[in-house]
Amino acid sequence: MKRLSIIAMVVAFLIISASAFAAQIKVDVNGMVCSFCAQGIEKKFKSDPAVEKVDVDLTKKTVLLTTRDGKTLSEADIRKRITDAGFKVEKVEYQ
């Protein structure tokens, strides 16, 4: 019985840990000035199955990417997509 309790606790811990793995990635972007800029960047990430949500803030010049549980994006991939959209990445911060 004791062994079953320990196994149950380990399984519960793993499930909780996996569901808490969704990450937010904040990207400071230079050159975004209008809603068309925002749409261009959103388009680069929305079709990615790892990305759950894309929030572009033109005032702060940031892009906040929310990944799906257990998924992530590499900094190199983020930089390439934004550069391909015509903008300059200043900083990438995983939160």
Mean pLDDT, residues 36-60 taken together? 96
What's the chain's average pLDDT? 87
Per-residue pLDDT for 46 more than 80?
yes
Model confidence over 75-93: pLDDT tens digits?
999 999 999 999 999 999 9
* pLDDT reported for residue 3: 72
Q: Which residue has the tokens 């549980």?
A: 69
* Domains with residue ranges and CATH for the chain: 22-94 (3.30.70.100)
CA of 74: how far to CAs of 8, 12, 65, 94, in Å?
34, 29, 12, 10
pLDDT at position 18 is 46
Indicate the pairing of strand 51-57 with strand 62-67: antiparallel
